[in-house]
Structure 1
Amino acid sequence: MTETLSPTAVEGGVLPAETGADAEPIVEHPAWRELKDAVERIRSWQAKDGSIDFAAEDAPARADVQAQVDRVVAAVERLAPLLPHNADYHRALVADLRRWAEGGFEVPDFLDSLLAFRPAEQRVDGRQHLVVFPMYTQNGNPDRNLEAVVLRMVWPDWLADLERTRYDNPLFLGITFEDFTSGYDTHSAVLFPETIAVREAPERFGWGGIFCDREAARFRRVVKAACDVTSLALPEDAQGLLTDQERAQQTFVLWDMVHDRTHSHGDLPFDPFMIKQRQPFWMYGLEELRCDLTAFHEAVRLEADGFPQGRDVQYAVILERLFRFPVTGERNRNYDGLGGQLLFAYLHQHDALRWTDNQLTIDWERAREVTVRLREEIETLYRAGIDRPKLVHWFKAYELVSGYLAPHPGSTWAKGPDALDLSLPPRKLVNEVHPDEFPLSMFYEALAKKLRGVIASTKGITADSATTAPAAA
């Protein structure tokens, strides 16, 4: 989300609330239940690329698939009048669905409806959107199945003002779930246009959404369990983040907005999103951590300027990075996990965090100072990287990470340049990276076992389900 859209006629891209923010809840309409049921049936027949193979042994009858697509079209047309701001998109969506059917249900192409869906041009707090696309869901379903989701925009006045005056990010969407099909009954918390099945990628993408309700709900559940396991006593003002879903959502939408724009701001020696670049996963880990630590830095400034959300973002960045990131996902080039491990080790080795007598303690004022120092180390690496060849930059980044985290004993990269065939192009040397280049410490191995069930329970979590969770092991 690095490009900018053309200015709209409405200042700040915000319309008055009476233009649809308080419309009838879409998920309570009978047509939504029809649409959701039809989409689920279609999904069960689709291949990985979104097509339907009628020659397969258990293939459905073509007429049965057509009937379900007709149900989706009819439901969209019934719901569309409730969402006049999506009128162009819904017309294009119906046309794309019909074209897919007329083409024999081959690999779907929903480029026309993707281009017609432009929610970032009119960000209205509470506004609903009905979205239907063939798509994969990040950290969820890897296949391009048809998905349907009803969402609401999170765009309070204070956030709109910060975006307009301090953190310009005209393509960013803070959103919450109303209801969804199976691809979102997963750990996925994003809605990105890059995931949608199209015949060709557009020149630029016009929006990107992050479900702050899911982020907040799983944060509350996992961090509470982690505090119980580690006997970490949180400051009173931090405890409120674990009991107040709305407050946590406001925290995450601010964090996400600042994080997202940071990918294209600063002294960047490479494409900020590293698109179409094959790099060692610690490079991705450092970039994601840099963006989070920049959000932390800005949160310190916001707190000083009287924004209570600034203090909340500081707590959230540290707690989320320390507790959820390292123990979530597979140990296969887990770059977000690596960033969490690095933050823990940095805080620990600079005496801002202690694990003593089976109890975790954090010196929050020192943690603030030390976290800023880690950001400065990464920024220094980036600035110097502008003048370095790619491979040298990768090794310097490795030195930074391995200064705090122990590499895998079987690592080739840990042995230095002499252990690698430097006649190969850098992208080929990525093959020599160990899948778990920086294994979990003994502390995190134990914590991962304790939190395994809690992490699993956050699959498909929403704000409504955030308060019920299994106890840590």
Structure 2
Amino acid sequence: MTTSAPLPPALRAAAAEFATSLFPQVNAFRERQERDGTIAEPRAADAELLQRIRAGATAWYRGNGRAHQADALDADVADWLAAGLDNAPHFARSRDALHAPADGAPVFFLAPVQTTNSVPPVGKRLDAFFALRKEPAALPELATTHPHPKNNCQSLLLIAGSDGFAHGNCLVFFPENVAAHDKVVDQAYAMFFYNKMRKIHETYALPGAEAVLTADSVPRASSNLAPEVCFEARAIWGYLHDSLHYQGSWPFDQHISLKMNWFVGLLEETKVDAKTALACAGGGVPFAQEQIAMILLERIFRYPQADDATRNFDSGTGVLLYSWLRAHDALTGSPADGGLLRLDPDRTLTALRAFVDRVELLEEQVRTDEEYRVAAKALVREYLPAGEPKQRFGFTDDQRVLLRAKESLAALEPLRFAEAEW
């Protein structure tokens, strides 16, 4: 099956059933919830609706060999109803009962979930998705030439979902997104809805770049891709990016708490994307130019458009990378008075190598977590100045060029994804 191939009849029938019955009920329930998942002054009708939702979800679970998920959902809903819907939900059983699907297998999940980058207001509201796992065709060969020490990511085709997943730009689902009172100790799955990427990329990243760059220097390799090509390219980027987190002298899995620090994480995330682009430039990676263009356009020209950019982690990486490229003559020109900048592809690769070298030198020189945090903050602050109270950084006059398209992009209707579009 390819991304563009028709869904099997059984999956199409299940998607239609979800879309016409269960998901509208979920959408109605989530409208009653606050950001923390509670319902202020819950009514009997709220409990009745939640029980109907539970019945619909557990019926699918039990009818498709997932009785353990049905049992977990039954228990989580029962406890929430007993505690009262004006208490924050705790769906750790449902979170832990979900197992990563095999390649080519469907996955369904329902729980209060933080759907990152979805349509505001985002919170721990009830949400559900129905998807199909589809790994890129190049993965077996990549696993040999670019091995991943602990691959635990799943590439998914989102087939149908409630509003948190089907509307807006939410691409990811992690166990830590599920509303629960405890913290995730071990990430058992990491799911990515990569078939949403093409519309997001074309709608936001490309116009964001076109407002800043000269027409002849906008990276175009990721433009107007066939849906299956965009899916494959984004999934390969995801695989390479994740694999690089687990390599080097301070691997992510051995230093999770340290890498959660905002400044350390900013360098880590930017470093692995730089190394991904360099791996693509080095040859032997399918859809290499598409990935390089996608990485640059997404990170630099889409992520900083977020409403909470000066607090947003991904936005910070994009602004950091922008200023690094400016400082290393890969982005030249003056943005004053509407002037456009020129992105030089060769100098960009040279600047990305310099960034990786700078961060890896830092990693060689520090000996403790505290030394790493101090050094990371100092490096980041060279490019991202401190901002207003409660903000991680503030935009410089030069960096504000990245926001040229923000007003027009913010005025767009949130993207909506439906099964027919795949």
In the superposition, the TM-score normalised over structure 1's length comes to 0.74
Q: 1:45 to 1:339 in 2, by over 3 A?
A: closer
Percent identity over the alignment is 20
Aligned to 1:355: 333
Task: Map 1:217-366 to 2 at 5 A.
Answer: 217-233=199-215, 238-268=220-250, 274-275=256-257, 279=261, 281-301=262-282, 304-305=283-284, 307-355=285-333, 358-366=339-347
Distance 1:21 1:252 in 2: 24
What SS class does the counterpart of residue 93 from structure 2 fall into? helix
Distance 1:359 1:142 in 2: 34
Is residue 35–residue 76 contact of structure 1 (8 Å, CA) maintained in 2? yes
Aligned to 1:451: 406
> Is structure 2 residue 138 aligned with structure 1 residue 151?
no
Is residue 23–residue 82 contact of structure 1 (8 Å, CA) maintained in 2? no
Distance 1:378 1:295 in 2: 15
Q: CA deviation at 1:257?
A: 2.1
Distance 2:389 2:38 in 1: 35
Q: CA deviation at 1:89?
A: 2.2
Is residue 21–residue 128 contact of structure 1 (8 Å, CA) maintained in 2? no
Q: 1:406 to 1:153 in 2, by over 3 A?
A: closer
Q: 1:376 to 1:33 in 2, by over 3 A?
A: same
In structure 2, stretches of 5+ residues that fail to align are 1-6
AA matched with 1:397: A
Aligned to 1:40: 27
Distance 1:92 1:43 in 2: 20
Q: CA deviation at 1:344?
A: 2.0
Q: CA deviation at 1:378?
A: 0.9
Aligned to 1:401: 380
Aligned to 2:3: none
What SS class does the counterpart of residue 108 from structure 1 fall into? coil
What SS class does the counterpart of residue 296 from structure 2 fall into? helix
Q: Deviations over 1:259-297 (max 9, x none)?
A: 223333222288767538884x33332121122122223
Aligned to 1:471: none
AA matched with 2:332: R
Aligned to 1:11: none
What SS class does the counterpart of residue 241 from structure 1 fall into? coil
Distance 1:345 1:157 in 2: 36
Match of 2:171 among 155, 180, 189: 189
Distance 1:248 1:234 in 2: 22
Aligned to 1:210: 192
> Is structure 2 residue 394 aligned with structure 1 residue 439?
yes
Aligned to 1:6: none
Distance 1:213 1:325 in 2: 18
Q: CA deviation at 1:243?
A: 4.1
AA matched with 2:380: V
AA matched with 1:224: L
What SS class does the counterpart of residue 457 from structure 1 fall into? coil
Aligned to 2:4: none
Is residue 80–residue 89 contact of structure 2 (8 Å, CA) maintained in 1? yes
Is residue 15–residue 130 contact of structure 2 (8 Å, CA) maintained in 1? no
Task: Please give the root-mean-square deviation of Cα atoms over the aligned residues, in Å.
Answer: 3.5
Is residue 266–residue 316 contact of structure 2 (8 Å, CA) maintained in 1? yes
Aligned to 1:72: 53
What SS class does the counterpart of residue 257 from structure 2 fall into? coil
Q: CA deviation at 1:148?
A: 1.3
AA matched with 2:92: L
Distance 2:358 2:60 in 1: 52
> Is structure 2 residue 73 aligned with structure 1 residue 118?
no
Is residue 76–residue 94 contact of structure 1 (8 Å, CA) maintained in 2? no
Distance 1:265 1:461 in 2: 37
Q: 1:454 to 1:373 in 2, by over 3 A?
A: same
Distance 2:68 2:218 in 1: 48
Q: Deviations over 1:28-62 (max 9, x none)?
A: 43354211122223223334443445xx2xx32x2
Q: 1:92 to 1:338 in 2, by over 3 A?
A: closer
Is residue 171–residue 207 contact of structure 1 (8 Å, CA) maintained in 2? yes
Is residue 331–residue 436 contact of structure 1 (8 Å, CA) maintained in 2? no
Comparing 348-357 with 206-215, greater Cα deviation is found at 348-357
Comparing 42-51 with 284-293, greater Cα deviation is found at 42-51
In structure 1, stretches of 5+ residues that fail to align are 1-19, 412-432, 467-473
Between the two proteins, the alignment pairs up a number of residues equal to: 407
Distance 2:60 2:390 in 1: 47
Is residue 192–residue 208 contact of structure 1 (8 Å, CA) maintained in 2? yes
Is residue 34–residue 72 contact of structure 1 (8 Å, CA) maintained in 2? no
Distance 1:376 1:134 in 2: 41
Distance 1:277 1:170 in 2: 18
Q: 1:335 to 1:69 in 2, by over 3 A?
A: closer
Q: CA deviation at 1:382?
A: 1.6
Q: CA deviation at 1:102?
A: 5.1
